[in-house]
Amino acid sequence: MSASLCERAPRLRGARSLFTGRSGGVSIGDHAGLNLARHVGDDELSVEHNRALLAEEVGVPVIFVNQVHSADVHVLPETGQSAIVTADAMVTDRRDVALGIMVADCLPVLLSDPRAGVVAVAHAGRQGLLTGVLQNTVSAMVRLGARPEDLEASIGPAICGACYEVPAAMRGEAAEILPETWATTSWGTPSLDLRAGAAAVLEAAGVPRAAIDAEHPCTLEDERFYSYRRAARTGRFAGVIRRA
């Protein structure tokens, strides 16, 4: 992967993977950089150009879904490219496509089983994380022949627990479902640590803790990435994975 589009390249065996940033694209204004989202008010031609640059970078077409903060997982058909579906995770064992998930503070999670040749991406925001998008993603991978104990995961750039301020009631409700999400901001107010929650969910699903890469920047603090909390009118970057 060239440095032009790849801000972070996690080392997942059995896969080629990356997290894009803002650099390398043609969008301007509020969306300046490599915005990959069509739904945020960016120029349509600029978005298509950016997506073409990404496909060139990874060497195959990149498949996206219509994300709605659900726990739904789309398993790609054996051949062809299906029409855009509504889901917040994708799984495949194909080599001819890459899977992309868009974020701007939520967690982009990449998974690979190097033995079974199965890869996945998931969009894990607060709602999706708490309603089971990661558990459902692991289950879909297992149905394609993966084993949880063979999985490797990377939890990409996202807003950190020290920055993701939420109302106290929301923190309490989330912690009742996933205690690891309970956090406090650096200025002492209630917050959620989605990264810690995601790591706990994956480990509970059978992914070895040592195989979970969770060391990535906070999108609110690091201006190399789009952040909805920093600016409500902004672009989206992506976590991308393809079977090696």
Mean pLDDT of 28-57: 96
- What's the predicted TM-score (pTM) here? 0.95
**Residue 45 in domain:** yes
**Residue 177 in domain:** no
What stretch of H or E contains 53? helix 44-58
pLDDT category of residue 30 using cuts at 50, 70 and 90: very high
* Residue 6: predicted pLDDT: 67
Report the distance separating Cα 195 and Cα 155, nearest Å.
7
Q: Residues 126, 132, 138, 141: what is their CA dihedral angle, to the nearest 10 degrees?
A: -100
Residue 197, Cβ neighbours under 10 Å: how many? 27
Pair 157, 228: CB distance under 8 Å: no
* Nearest alpha-carbon partner for 58 in 243, 236, 225: 243
Q: What is the pLDDT of residues 176-204, one digit of tens each?
A: 999 999 999 999 999 999 999 999 999 99
**Residue 191 in domain:** no
148 DSSP assignment: G
State the maximum Cα–Cα separation within the chain, in Å, rounded to a whole number: 51
CA distances from 212 to 11, 24, 99, 135, 164 (A): 11, 28, 19, 15, 22
Higher pLDDT, 23 or 84: 23
**Residue 194 in domain:** no
Tally of domains within the chain:
1
* Residue 82: predicted pLDDT: 64
Q: What is the span of the domain harbouring residue 49?
A: 6-159+215-243
**Residue 110 in domain:** yes
CATH of the domain at 10: 3.60.140.10
* Residue 147: predicted pLDDT: 98
Q: Using the predicted structure, report yes or no on whether residue 8 has a pLDDT greater than 60.
A: yes
* Residue 2: predicted pLDDT: 43
- Which of the residue ranges 21-30, 57-66, 75-84, 85-94 would you say has the lowest mean pLDDT? 75-84
76 DSSP assignment: P
**Backbone conformation region of residue 113, classed left if phi is above 0, alpha if psi is from -120 to 50, else beta:** beta
